[in-house]
Each structure stands twice: as structure tokens, then as C-alpha cells.
Structure 1
Amino acid sequence: MPDLRTPLDPPIGPSITEPGIAERWRSYDRSYRAEARISRFWVADIHEATVYPPYGVVGQGDRLVRDTIRNGNMLANLFPDADPAELRQAMASPEVEITGLAEEPQRYLPGHSFLLGFGVFANYFNWTLRYASRVALFQMMPPSCRLVVPAPIKQYIRETLEFMGVPEERVVYLDVPTAFERLTLAAPTALGRYEISPLITETLREHPRVTDLPRAGRRRLYIPRRNVRMRRVVNEAAVEDALAMLGFEVFDNAEYSVRDQAHAFRDAEIVIAPHGAGLSNIVYCDAGTPVIEIVPEGYDQGATSYRSLADLFGLSYVQLFAREAAPDRKGNRCNADIELDVEELVHAARAQLV
């Protein structure tokens, strides 16, 4: 897999007065480009394994598959009667046996099953990277193999699987501890802080269900932040009016099916959006498509996940800072409401449309 990461020194317009922001982002950039692109990947079959919802943690007897555990809180919630010291050791070594681990499975599935993902996904972004990115692996399995999908089961999950051509009768939704005769796992891989399949481009942008979508003309998309409680754009009406003068349409992902979202982003000439799950669909954009991500000036979590996606899919990525207009209710500056300098945004958009 080629490494398409290039240095990024985002422009900081006159509307941004955050002290030290330039050096902070240069530091994020250096750290990001020093990380492994894909650290590891394996696919393994486990016999007589038990999977525990809602996290998809996998156990075999009194041992856990360590790579299916993201943090100790997951284990404490799943196994409240287990020794906390043993749970901590299980996070460090797959050889540790946990006394009284095995909660009796409530059902048993014979034959072959494929676990789509594990960990926690709370939104469309995490679903797309951690779960949907593995569908191509499942579709390489024999027709008798089932697809096991951990909870929660949301509408976009069913729509994604239907769009990608996974028959409903082959899907098992994991709602109770379940034992499997034979279970195939795909290991996590490293992309920043997120685990994805190295087949993500084949699964998403190059999936036959995506490439078969008819071309409907190039579209300039602005993805709004509506019906949300954080990172709201306080002057969004002015932003939308200014972008409309450049031929942009407002495309609210929440109003469309997964198929229609994929179709719109596949046809995108350029995408502009505030930081948020609405940018997840850039995985369907053609290589080279410009993406402008609007980031709160107080964002302090390093290179954003959407820069990582843009690099992975060969997109032309631009980062634009927005002034903090109102603090996040929990004090997280990454999630503050923002106010965009409309003139700066229009300038950045025109530069990408040349």
C-alpha cells in the first residue's frame, strides 16, 4: 500500500488568534508522518469461540483474544465478577487465563462465521472504518459463511450491507453471548488511532456496487452540521449562501440512504465540511478530489482522521481553521461551536476549483 502522506502546513488566516497554533499543528504533522502506515494484519480461524456483545470481545475457554479488546472498561463491564488484576493482565498477554470468565453462551452457531468487527462504534465514521472496511474480506468467504455484526444495529448498518450486496439471510446480529463452531477474525491494523482493513479501498471506493453507480455529473458538496450538539457552525447560513454562489449544493447525509450518499460523493468535484462524521463518505470520492476540512482552532487531538482518510485514498486535502464561537458544554475545545471567516473559505474553495 503506497504511503501518500505529504507534509501539511495549514494556512492560518487573520481570523484565527489562537496562541501557538502554527507550531502545534507542525508538531502534529511530524508525529503523524512518523507513524506506521499499516502496522500489521492477519486473518485467523478460531474454533469453539465465544463472542460477547456489545463490544465483540472474543474468548476461547478462559482466555481472551487480546486484539478484540480496546480498553479495560470494556472487560470490567462484560465480566464484573472477574478479578481486576487478571483483566489487566489479559490486556497485556493472550496467555493469561481469567478465572470465571466464561459467561454461558445463550446460543450456539454451527458451521463457519466471520466476525465483521469488534471494539466500539458510536457513529457512522467508526462503523465505516472499523466494520464496513472488512466487508470485502467476508465476501471472499464461501457462500455458507455467515456475517456476524455486533450491536448496536442502526439503520445505516442495514443500508450499508444491503448496498454492498450482503444477503440479509447471511447476517447474524450479535445481541447475546454466542458460541461459534468456527469463527474467522481479521486483525486490526494501524491508521493513526483507528483500526481498518488494508482492503479498505477495495471494500469501499472500488467495491463493484460503488463502481457500478451511474455517473450523474460533477457535484460541489458542502456537508452541514445540523441537528447536532457540538461543533455547530454559528454562521452556517452565510457560509451556505457564499458557497452557493460558487455552485455548491448543501448535502446533508442524514437525509439520504447510504447508497445515495456513496453516489453523491463518487460524483463530487470537491467536498467542504466541518470536522465530523459527515466527512466519512470521502472514502467514495475519486482519487484527486479536493477535500476541505474545517477544524476548530482549539482542536488538540493531532492530525485528524479525515486527513488520514484523504491520504489513504489519494485525495487533495486542505485544512481550514475556524474561530471558536462558543465552548463545548463539556469543556472539550475540539467540539466547540465555530464561526467561519466566509471570505477565507471562499478563497480556499476557489483555489481548489482552478
Structure 2
Amino acid sequence: MTDPRERRSLRRWLGDVVGHTYRERGLLGLLARGPRFVRDDLLGERLRWWLLVHPLRGRLLDRGTLRSRASEAERLWDGAQQEPVTVEAPTGTEVPKPLAETTGTYDPERPFVAEVEDARVLGERGIGLVDDEVVLETTNASRMYLYFALENLYDAIEAGRSTRDAYRSYRAVVHGASSLELPDSIDGTPPETAAIMLPHWRSYYHWVIEYLPRLRMLERYETETGRRPTLLVPPEPKPWIRETLRLCGWGPDDCTEWIWPEARIERLVVPSHRNQFVSPHDSHFGDDFNPAPEDARWVAERMRSNVDGLDPGEGNLDAGAFSSRVYVSRRDTGTRRVADEAAVLDALEPLGFESYALSELSIPDQIRLFAHADAVVGPHGAGLVNLIHCEDAAVFEFFPDDHVQPYYFSLARQLGFEYDCAVYPSRDDETVVDPEDLRERVAAFLDRSGLIERS
């Protein structure tokens, strides 16, 4: 597989984009898109990338260099080597190409945690620098996410300035020749020992699969040093951030909201990041997909162990109140809803499925729901990350034809679950499901999975 930290060459990127556009739209469509592509993609986005990242050339501290330097300074602690992960295509069915392309065997990198002294943490996204070098691990170990963080930093600097002045100030800030101004409203001192937990994607999936596993190595650091790092979390974090941290054993006293444009951290604790990102076809960044089911299982076991000990009032229902056949609804979301979902539920009801909108359940109840499930059906969406809490399950996912993504296919197969899927037309940001077709597909899938006799 391509090294996820390497940026695609311009020639390869152009070839991918031109080839995809030609296949999708034909020669006329390719020619029609040409002027917009040159203006927006080639000159606009490419130039912006160069202007923001180029000032940091030669100053990117990648994973290998961080590991080497921390080891030499005796500030590196390794986790256990994880076993290779094989994602297999399901038998008896054919999955769409974006899913099939993620099959194969992956060798998860051995996790580690490093400590760096006198670090500078910069911008809303928390870019970590040490000796004026960017610690890429603090930007998801990825040049792509570094670019996103630098965009955010530049936009904050640009406010109220001309483009020339803004870029001059930006270069001075990233070179360490100037500091970001602290608003008068900010009060308080950053913690001496801290770890960055500032996700780029405000998605429950990325938080659970990429960020919560960091806690495993932070606990290793605490065991080795006796110091418990303070977690730097987003200002006014979403309730599920605080709740999942609490269920993993990190309470409010262990967290500080990141409110500083810039700060010095005496000891920055940097756990390795487990990326789970597949680039779109027209991206000039390579895929950054490094699955590790042991991390997901650790998060699930930690959360479930604390759910079992919760007071009854902290969960609305006990496990016996849930159906073992779960339909995950998106009626509580603003995007990719299912058109005429009532008809879909009517079709699935004879197979024993009940509908649940996960935002209407507490996190403990979501854990109880999936722990009790033997079959899960639903549209592609972040709620399916709760599959990590299933003991064993048959998973049927369906997609709109303009948003076929491999994340839950890969997760289900990593965890050893049976999997099947369907693709339906998209209309006005809704998935137009054929209820009878879905019922037939799910019934056949349950039969192959050995569950139909309980329907």
C-alpha cells in the first residue's frame, strides 16, 4: 500500500482526476469541466497548499523521526505489537468497488507514546511544534490534516487584514518570529503536562476510532512516569466527547478546553495516531487507512465495563428493552436521510427489526443496544461505529449512490462480522430505497448468516 504520509505526485493526481472524469462524464464532460478544474483545483487549491505548507519545508517531524528522537532522549514508550489485520470480501455477495478496494491484509504500526519538552501548540487545531519543527503526529500524522490545520490558522490571521499583510504575518507566526495575540477575555494557564485531543472531523466515528484509542497509550505514559496528562479538548465540547471520555475513565478534572490561540506546554505527550481515512478519487493526498481492531476492542471493553457500573438513572433502558434486530435510523440527522422511511420500516418489521434514532439514546443505552444486537441494518452513517460494542452481528448497510464509503464494511469485517450491502439512488440528499428489494436482500442475508430461523 502507498505510504499514507506521502503526498501524491502532481502527475499521478492529474491522471487520476482526468481519468475519473472521462469515465464518468465522457469526452464532452471532461472538456466542459476543464476551465473550472484549472481555476479552482489546479491553480486555486494547489497554489493555496503550496503557499501554506512551503514555509514549513524541511521542518516536518514525521512519525519515524519522532520515535527515533524520543527513544534517544529516553522519552518513548512502546505499546504491544498488533497482529496483521485481514479485511476479506464477504462470501456469496459482491460489494461495490470502493469497498472491494480496501480488502487485503494490513500491518498496523506498533503504537507508542512520546514526550517532548517545551512544545509550542499553535492555532485552533492545536498544531504541535518542538524546536520549530511541526510534530506531524499532532495533526493526525498526516500532511493532509496539517494542511487543513494551516488553512484554519491562516483564516484566523487573515481576518481584518489585506492578503499581503495576512500572509506576511502567517509566515512570521509559523517561523516562530511572531506570536498570535491573546484576547483579553482569555484567563487561565495551560497545563504543564498535556496531550492534544482536538479532532479535525467533528464526527462520532473519527472520535471513537481514531481519538479514543490514544487514551490507551496515555495510560501507558501515566504508568511509566506517574504523570497523568491533561487532555486538551475543543471549547464547549459536544456532550458525546465528554461522555465517551468519562466512560473510558477520563473525567472532567482530566480535561481542559483549548481556548488559547497559542501556548507553551512544558511536557507535550504525543501518542501515535491511528488514521482511518480514505481519500476521494480527486484528492492529491494518498489514502490514510491503517485499521487496528485491537484498538477498537480496547475502547469497547473500557466503555462497556464502566456502563455496567452506572447507576440506573444514567441509562434510560436496560438491555432487555431493546430488540436484537436493530434498524439504525437517520431521521434525527439533516443529511442523507431515507426517503419514505416508514415504508422501509414496514418492510423490515416482519423480520423482527425495530428502529432506533441514536441521538435519542444516551451513550450507555447505545452501548447496551448494540451489545444486545445480533443483526444491524441501516444507512451509512456515524452511528454504525457502535458496531464495536456488538458481541457478534450480521451487518447490512445501504448507501446512496453518490456516497459509497468503506468504513463500516472494513470495521465489520475486522471484527469478524457477516456483512452485506446495497446501493440505492440519491435524490435531493435522500436515499431512495426500494422497500421490497431491501426486505428481500436482508432476508436472504439473514438466511446466509444463520439467523432466518429466528425471524
Q: Classify the secondary structure of the residue corresponding to 2:347.
A: helix
Distance across 2 between alignment mates of 1:104 and 1:9: 58
Higher helix share: 2
Instruction: Provide the residue aligned with 1:145 in structure 2.
Output: 228
**Residue 362 of structure 2 is aligned to residue 267 of structure 1:** no
For the 8 Å contact 1:205–1:211, the answer to whether it is kept is: no
Q: 1:158 aligns with which of 228, 238, 242?
A: 242
State whether residues 225 and 274 of structure 1, in contact with CA within 8 Å, keep that contact through their aligned partners in structure 2. Answer: yes
Q: Counterpart of 2:396 in structure 1: which amino acid?
A: I
Find the aligned partners of 1:54 and 1:85 in 2 and give their Cα distance.
14
Deviation at 1:11, TM superposition (A): 5.3
Distance verdict in 2 for CA 1:166–1:307, change over 3 Å: same
Residue 290, structure 1, aligned to residue 394, structure 2: yes
The amino acid across from 1:185 in the alignment is V
Q: Secondary structure at the match of 2:194?
A: strand
Residue 296 (structure 2) pairs with residue 201 (structure 1) = yes
Structure 1: gaps spanning 5 or more residues: 13-21, 88-96, 328-335
Q: Secondary structure at the match of 2:250?
A: coil
2:119 is the counterpart of 1:44:
no
The secondary structure found in structure 2 opposite 1:245 is helix
**Once structures 1 and 2 are overlaid, which stretch shifts more, 305-314 or 51-60?**
51-60
Mapped to 1, the partners of 2:252 and 2:124 lie a distance apart of 20
SS, match of residue 206 in structure 1: helix
Q: Residue 225 of structure 1 contacts residue 233 of structure 1 at CA under 8 Å; is this kept in 2?
A: yes
Give the TM-score, by structure 1 length: 0.78
- TM-score normalised by the chain length of structure 2: 0.62
Structure 1 residue aligned with 2:268, among 175, 178, 183? Answer: 183
CA deviation string 1:162-185 (max 9, x = no partner): 222222212222222332211211
Retained in 2: the 8 A contact 1:39–1:190? no
Name the structure 1 match of 2:403: 299
- 1:213 maps to which of 308, 316, 323: 308
- Aligned partners of 1:62 and 1:102 also within 8 Å: no
Q: Distance in 2 between matches of 1:219 and 1:101?
A: 58
Aligned-partner Cα distance in 2 for 1:289–1:31 = 23
CA contact (8 A) 1:47 1:183 kept: yes
Partner of residue 276 from structure 1, selected from 378, 381, 397? 381
Cα offsets for 1:271-315 (capped at 9, x unmatched): 1110111212112111x3111111112335xx5211122123222
Give the aligned residue type for 2:115. Answer: D
Instruction: Describe the shift of the 1:187–1:295 C-alpha distance in structure 2 as closer, same or farther (beyond 3 A).
Output: same
Q: CA, structure 1 residues 269+213, in 2 after alignment: closer, same or farther (shift >3 Å)?
A: farther
Which protein has the bigger strand share? 1
Provide Cα deviations, 1:102-136, integer angstroms capped at 9, x if missing partner.
Answer: 43787654543333x34402221222122223233
* Larger mean Cα displacement after TM superposition, 172-181 or 277-286: 172-181
Q: Which residue of 2 aligns with 1:330?
A: none
User: Which of these residues, 229, 232, 250, is aligned with residue 334 of structure 2?
Assistant: 229
Asked if the contact 2:375–2:393 (Cα under 8 Å) also holds between the matched residues in 1, the reply is yes
Which secondary structure does the structure 2 equivalent of 1:230 belong to? coil
Check the 8 A contact 2:218/2:271 in 1, yes or no: no
Task: Tell me, yes or no, if the aligned pair for 2:210 and 2:276 is still in contact at 8 Å.
Answer: no
**2:436 paired with 1:322:** no
Rg (Cα) greater in structure: 2
1:38 partner amino acid? P
Write out per-residue CA displacement over residues 45-96 of structure 1, whole angstroms, 9 at most, x where no aligned residue: 1111122353221122432112333142421332545669979xxxxxxxxx
What is the match of residue 113 of structure 1? 194
**Structure 1: how far apart are the matches of 2:425 and 2:289?**
31
SS at match of 1:139: helix
State whether structure 2 residue 205 is matched by structure 1 residue 125.
Answer: yes
Q: CA deviation at 1:99?
A: 4.8
CA distance in 2, matches of 1:349, 1:100: 61
Match of residue 147 from structure 2: 72
Gaps of 5+ in 2: 1-82, 140-144, 158-165, 279-287, 310-317
For 1:341, give the aligned amino acid.
Answer: D
Letter in 2 for 1:227: D
Measured at CA, do residues 208 and 162 of structure 1 come closer, stay the same or move farther in structure 2, by a change above 3 Å?
closer
CA contact under 8 A between 1:272 and 1:292: conserved in structure 2?
yes
The amino acid that maps onto 1:314 is G
Aligned 8 A contact 1:220 1:270 in 2: yes
Cα drift, residue 8 of structure 1: 4.8
Q: Distance in 2 between matches of 1:281 and 1:8?
A: 20
Alpha-carbon separation, structure 1, partners of 2:151 and 2:295: 31
SS in 1 for 2:125: coil
Distance (whole Å) between structure 1 residues aligned to residue 305 and residue 402 of structure 2: 36
Does the residue aligned with 2:319 lie in a helix, a strand or coil?
coil
Asked if the contact 1:48–1:181 (Cα under 8 Å) also holds between the matched residues in 2, the reply is yes
Q: Distance in 2 between matches of 1:182 and 1:154?
A: 26
Q: Does the aligned pair in 1 maintain the 2:209–2:276 contact within 8 Å?
A: no
Rounded Cα–Cα distance in structure 2 between residues aligned with 1:57 and 1:195? 21
More RCO (CA 8 Å, sep 6+) = 1
Q: Is the 8 A contact 1:82 1:99 kept in 2?
A: no
Alignment match of 1:345 (pick from 438, 441, 450): 438
The root-mean-square deviation of aligned C-alpha atoms, in Å, is 3.3
SS of 1:149's partner is strand
Q: Map 1:88-99; keep pairs closer than 5 Å.
A: 98-99=175-176
The reply to whether residue 100 of structure 1 matches residue 177 of structure 2 is: yes
